[in-house]
Structure 1
Amino acid sequence: MEIFMIRRYKVITQWLSLLIMGLFSSLSMAYSLPDFTELVEESAPAVVNISTVREPDNSRHPMAGIDQENLPEIFRHFFGNPGGSPRGEPQQSLGSGFIISDDGYILTNNHVVEGADKIIVRLSDRREMEAQVIGLDKRTDLALLKVSANKLPVVELGDSSELKAGEWVLAIGSPFGFDHSVTAGIVSAVNRSLPNENYVPFIQTDVAINPGNSGGPLFNLDGKVVGINSQIYTRSGGFMGLSFAIPIDVAMNVADQLKDNGRVARGWLGVLIQEVNRDLAESFGLSKPMGALVVQVAENGPADKAGLQEGDIVLAFNGTDIRRSGELPPLVGQVHPGERADIKVLRAGKKVTLSVEIEELPEKQRIASAEKGAAVTPTDRLGLRVDNLTSEQRQRWDVDHGVLIREIKPGSAAAAGLKKGDLITMINGQQINDVSSYRDVVESLESGSSVPVRVVRRGNATFVPLKVE
């Protein structure tokens, strides 16, 4: 009986020890989670709700400007009554923003206020003020507003370049019109490139962002703004775990230029680039995919003047390594026009450093075209039959050299994905001017080698890796 009691005591003791350890573990986890209450209390007063009104444009009505006194009723039925009452209803939208100076400067998204006839800013103390647009920048989706007030609460700005994946971040905004809603999460990735957004290295988070959060601040745990919530990835129209914010470093550079000049001047290199995948890396002799592959150089642009060539791979810009092609445009855009930058490139297997004077990004970039004669080749070792370009083809595709694929048969080119109608402008780093130079280059290729081929398809240039059979 005594032995039984001793064993029972040991079991109970062990069970209690495990229970206590579990409780302490749970408490430890609870205490390790951040408490955002103080951050919200200090920062929320500088976050504002932005509502806009856009009056209907009745001048675009199909019956605008026409005397409607004697029109048959059937016309009024189909076209309405733009000249009389009632008129179209004003369009309203909601967004967020935050105060960056105590004299009334406010940052938000361009898409929140673009085209608005009236912008109303509502502060946390319920005051409402009409805002003036100081400047808009569509490329970064940023807008700088100003209200007539003094001694306003302001946010503290942080350094977005110091952000790392896994950090806690917090958003304050007005999703669906619910003022000063707070959501939190972590940084999922930094320097994220999005389609058609070449000049913004986005911060990706899993913070819940919904319509109305646009333009609101993203805070780190120190209560400093590190980003501006701008976009979400969604298939439902609501939050799905992928949110994107504009880094505050980029935003303040834009805001300063809008405040001083009313516009933004960005650096321009004058190249078109593409990603280097595994096959392309092998064809260029790289141990792994890296850098930005130059597929087109604008004539008389900064890169052209500095000696950058099609087929070069940009490995570093101003001392910053380029791991992916999307990292290059934001770096170039942040350089002030007129300043010089060093570019390290891989050319024909050797690393070369070039110095380029950055120019201002123009509205349109063009590559000059020229005229040359026509010729035809028989099907070659790549399975291709090519022609020289006509002057009309050069003008249509905006190129000044290359050959046109007229026919393609099973072989190396077909396996690489080349198609009838493609233009070949470079093979293995050698420019293809016409059929003659094409023939010389193709005949010199080593069997079994992998070479990069520059192709122009429907006006868009790209490199493809080709394994020579």
Structure 2
Amino acid sequence: MPDLTPSIRSALRSSTLLALVLGFGLSLAPAHEAEAFGAPESFAELADQISPSVVNITTSALIAAPADGMPMVPEGSPFQDFFDDFNNRGGNGGPQRSEALGSGFVVSEDGYIVTNNHVIEGADEISIEFFSGVKLPAKLVGTDPKTDIALLKVESDKPLPFVTFGNSDLMRVGDWVMAMGNPLGQGFSVSAGIVSARGRELSGTYDDYLQTDAAINRGNSGGPLFNMDGQVIGVNTAILSPNGGSIGIGFSMASNVVTKVVDQLKEFGETRRGWLGVRIQDVTPDVAEAMGLAEAKGALVTDVPEGPAKSAGVTAGDVITMFAGQPVGDAGDLTRRVADAPIGEAVPVIVQRDGKTETLQVTLGRREEAEAAPVPAASPAPAEPKELQSLGLTLTPLNEELRGGLGLDAGAEGLVVTAVDQASEAFTKGLREGDLITEAGQQKVVRLQDLEDRIAEAKGAGRKSLLLLVRRGGDPRFVALSIE
């Protein structure tokens, strides 16, 4: 899916006007293929079937006020609306207890319940209200902020009604779906619509959303999206809205992502995702042309720090086309496949390198243990200070003065962009003053002559563009620029 604009991403992240909902089922029963349905005469029978398994969630937290007497709450917190009202009324400067509402659903008869992480984040008390009116306290089992999932547990003296997961991959654009939850604190409510789109991404690493026009509002957070068989195929996570109300653009995290997270939270109380140890980007058509690839598919490796991939021989510039026997469509596809793969086991990874295919065996690490590790710098190589104007860029070799001014490590090397022609393709593709070009044509560039040589080689090979590896703030990406 194309990336959402920064303004939309900001709106999705920063506003509690977004209704966020996640739902899973813990039943391990295999999902069966959903049948195609025409427009139903009524959703009443389905609503009767699933209502006992959907719950309202009330959370409570005691928030201390700072010295100036104004309570503080993180931006985007589910308690933010409460404190906005509180601050407008004025407070006594002491600790205040706040409440927030959300939704969820029961996924096992022994009392496991799924909701959004943001619904219960920071809460010290969690209360579950069932459709029957019964209320029970809940304990937190585990959370996964990356997918906004939380798993709760209640104790009941009798088996609880629960729902199961369906296979979100079977859902088609246009299929009927139904959402249930606690919108705007109004209690149990049902809304219906269709799947509007698949494979949506917002801002998370593991995003795989179903878009729906079923009405979702604040308070629906944590509630399920059902197919017509009464199976959970999505977790209503966010809405796109200028005013906080539903305008028919809602996003539900696909159940095939959710189920894996829930299983891990139940077993370990935390997630345990596979870690390959590479930085990657999508293979765009211009990058594919510059690399001589037959099609724009796979995940292009931009950097390989110390880790499993480097130990197995993966290098920057490799295009990963297969992982664990499955084709890799793009960078997001690879990220999700690696996350689901077993830790500590060797996995076959097929890469395209220099026009040839190689199979490497990579023993995956655990992402949670590796995320905080710093990324090492590149190796050093000084160069003579002079300028070159090419490809819409003004370039100079990296020297000690520039290295210090740009805050680069002592080991950094390459050509520094000192100016960008705003009418050039380079500017359109995001290159800016201060960027560091470390490779051209998948070969290191240290001298200005290195870049000129790479351009000449690409033209001699009949290429229309040249692939550059660009670093900004330590983050690498490949950019293909025309050389015609």
Q: Name the TM-score, length of structure 1 as normaliser.
A: 0.81
Bigger drift between 372-381 and 421-430 goes to 372-381
Structure 2 residue aligned with 1:431:
444
Bigger drift between 369-378 and 218-227 goes to 369-378
Structure-2 separation of matches of 1:99 and 1:332: 29
Structure 2 residue aligned with 1:232:
239
Choose which of 394, 416, 436 in structure 2 pairs with 1:404. 416
Structure 2 residue aligned with 1:461:
476
Choose which of 466, 469, 475 in structure 2 pairs with 1:451. 466
The secondary structure found in structure 1 opposite 2:388 is coil
Structure-1 separation of matches of 2:242 and 2:410: 38
Structure 2 residue aligned with 1:332:
338
Bigger drift between 429-438 and 459-468 goes to 429-438
Contact 2:455 2:466 in 1 (8 A): no
Q: CA deviation at 1:275?
A: 2.6
Structure-2 separation of matches of 1:416 and 1:177: 46
Choose which of 164, 171, 175 in structure 2 pairs with 1:156. 164
Structure 2 residue aligned with 1:11:
none
Cα offsets for 1:396-433 (capped at 9, x unmatched): 36974422234567988668664332211111121235
Q: CA deviation at 1:265?
A: 1.1
Choose which of 434, 449, 454 in structure 2 pairs with 1:441. 454
Structure-2 separation of matches of 1:385 and 1:350: 32
Q: CA deviation at 1:220?
A: 0.9
After superposition, the Cα gap between the structure-2 partners of 1:455 and 1:121, relative to the gap in structure 1 and judged at 3 Å, is same
Structure 1 residue aligned with 2:311:
305
Q: Which runs of 5+ in 2 are unaligned?
A: 1-36, 71-89
Contact 1:348 1:429 in 2 (8 A): no
Structure 1 residue aligned with 2:55:
48
Structure 2 residue aligned with 1:5:
none
Contact 1:367 1:398 in 2 (8 A): no
Q: Which has the higher contact order (CA 8 A, sep 6+)?
A: 2
Structure-1 separation of matches of 2:426 and 2:105: 55
Structure-2 separation of matches of 1:97 and 1:271: 36
Bigger drift between 147-156 and 248-257 goes to 248-257
Bigger drift between 352-361 and 400-409 goes to 400-409
After superposition, the Cα gap between the structure-2 partners of 1:317 and 1:336, relative to the gap in structure 1 and judged at 3 Å, is same
Q: Name the TM-score, length of structure 2 as normaliser.
A: 0.78
Q: CA deviation at 1:144?
A: 0.8
Structure-2 separation of matches of 1:350 and 1:33: 53
Structure 1 residue aligned with 2:384:
375
Q: How does 1:91-110 map onto structure 2 within 5 Å?
A: 91-110=98-117
Structure 2 residue aligned with 1:344:
350
After superposition, the Cα gap between the structure-2 partners of 1:240 and 1:344, relative to the gap in structure 1 and judged at 3 Å, is farther
Q: How does 1:100-139 map onto structure 2 within 5 Å?
A: 100-139=107-146
After superposition, the Cα gap between the structure-2 partners of 1:80 and 1:36, relative to the gap in structure 1 and judged at 3 Å, is closer
Q: CA deviation at 1:118?
A: 1.0
Q: How does 1:157-306 map onto structure 2 within 5 Å?
A: 157-195=165-203, 197-297=204-304, 299-306=305-312
Q: CA deviation at 1:456?
A: 1.3
Choose which of 435, 439, 445 in structure 2 pairs with 1:422. 435
Structure-1 separation of matches of 2:185 and 2:429: 52
Amino acid corresponding to residue 118 of structure 1 in structure 2: E
Cα offsets for 1:23-74 (capped at 9, x unmatched): xxxxxxx97436322211111101000011111213x33479xxxxxxxxxx
Say how many residue pairs are matched. 419
Cα offsets for 1:313-351 (capped at 9, x unmatched): 222322333333222211111112212323233323333
Structure 2 residue aligned with 1:3:
none
The secondary structure found in structure 2 opposite 1:228 is strand
Structure 2 residue aligned with 1:386:
396
Q: CA deviation at 1:181?
A: 0.8
Work out the percentage of aligned pairs sharing the same amino acid. 38
Structure-1 separation of matches of 2:193 and 2:356: 44
Cα offsets for 1:289-335 (capped at 9, x unmatched): 322222222x2222222222222222232233333322221111111
Q: CA deviation at 1:287?
A: 4.5
Bigger drift between 401-410 and 223-232 goes to 401-410
Q: CA deviation at 1:158?
A: 1.9
The secondary structure found in structure 2 opposite 1:215 is coil
Amino acid corresponding to residue 373 of structure 1 in structure 2: P
Amino acid corresponding to residue 258 of structure 1 in structure 2: L
Bigger drift between 92-101 and 304-313 goes to 304-313
Amino acid corresponding to residue 159 of structure 1 in structure 2: N
